[in-house]
């Protein structure tokens, strides 16, 4: 392994674990019911929703070959499975991958 690859692994690991460590230290005095904690929670969900919407509306790579209709159908069906399985993430994730491949290959 070259020195530059090893150095990049060390630097990215330090950046990752340093930010996590600082998060743990700064979160000691934050209560889960505080307004700031709820704000960060809302911010995280909003960011996730924006990323999912961007993936559906402006896909990149192999997903860009799929039509808007097929992507929308898979999302709606996966949401239905998510709520039917009592908010389990595993089943809709597997279902979405399988159904997207079936819809794109056969329809």
Token pair 């790579």 is found at 61
Number of domains in the chain: 2
Same domain membership, residue 39 and residue 24: no
Q: In this structure, are 60 and 19 located in the same domain? A: no
> Is the predicted pLDDT of residue 30 greater than 80, yes or no?
no
Nearest to 68 by CA among 82, 57, 60: 57
If asked whether residues 42 and 90 sit together in one domain, one would say yes
pLDDT tens-digit map of 44-91: 999 999 998 998 899 998 888 899 999 999 999 999 999 999 999 899
Token couple for 56: 């559906």
pLDDT score for 1: 61
Q: Which two tokens stand for residue 49?
A: 């929703």
Q: What is the pLDDT of residue 40?
A: 87
Q: How many whole angstroms separate alpha carbon 2 and alpha carbon 10?
A: 13
On whether both 75 and 94 belong to a single domain, the answer is yes
Environment class of residue 48 by beta-carbon count within 10 Å: exposed (0-12), middle (13-18) or buried (19+)?
exposed
Residue 101 pLDDT > 70, yes or no? yes
């Amino acid at each position: 392994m070259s020195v530059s690859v090893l150095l990049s692994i060390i630097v990215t690991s330090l950046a990752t674990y340093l930010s996590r460590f600082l998060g743990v230290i700064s979160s000691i005095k934050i209560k889960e019911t505080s307004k700031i904690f709820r704000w960060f929670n809302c911010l995280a969900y909003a960011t996730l929703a924006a990323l999912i919407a961007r993936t559906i509306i402006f896909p990149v790579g192999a997903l860009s070959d799929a039509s808007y209709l097929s992507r929308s159908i898979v999302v709606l069906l996966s949401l239905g499975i998510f709520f039917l399985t009592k908010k389990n993430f595993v089943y809709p994730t597997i279902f979405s991958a399988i159904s997207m491949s079936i819809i794109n290959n056969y329809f």
